[in-house]
Amino acid sequence: KKRIESAARNVFISTVDGSLGIKGTTSGVFKSIITDYKKHYDTVIAIGSTEMMRDVSEITKDYNIKTIVSLTTLMLDGTGMCGACRLTINGEMKFACQDGPEFDGHLVDFEEVRRRQNSETKKSCHARRARAAPPTPWGPVVARARGTRPAETLSYPAAGPDCGRITTISSPPYR
């Protein structure tokens, strides 16, 4: 708490039950800070549950406050290979791991994010990928003859339609 207070001018602590700070949810307390305390902010960074980020984004949109949300919870492999973090931002397909994970909260399709989180997509992509490419320290084994250049990549279709794209795995560096 002291470290945050040393870096921020205003610190508001809240808990749902009111055991510490202001009683209420993050979005409810945030709205009261803007309306009751008459605080104005240029930018809000929301990191937390999808519902909280959605609610905060809706509030800030009404007050024309730039809002950045972090969608790291969608990411599975962090490389864009599995497609589990695919989402729609301002009508365009994006990948949280490659194009984000921070996005303008006013442009995120939170309904799609919620559906993807509640589906088995991430689990099923991960399981199918493990079956398609046996794990090694460097991913799939790529054959290499002595004295030749290492194989550049090994490509195979993503393990199912929910995973989204063609997967390319680079071979390990040759030493």
Cβ burial of 24 (10 Å; 0-12, 13-18, 19+) is middle
Please state, as a whole number, how many other Cβ atoms lie within 10 Å of the Cβ of residue 124: 15
- Look up the pTM and report it: 0.64
What are the tens digits of pLDDT across the range 68-111?
999 988 887 777 788 888 899 999 999 998 999 999 999 999 99
- Give me the pLDDT at residue 108, please: 97
Q: Over the chain, what is the mean pLDDT?
A: 74
The token pair that represents 83 in the structure block? 């497609």
Q: Which of 13, 30, 14 is nearest to 67 (CA)?
A: 30
Q: Give the tens place of pLDDT for each residue, 32-47.
A: 888 887 778 889 999 8
136 CB neighbour count, 10 Å cutoff: 10
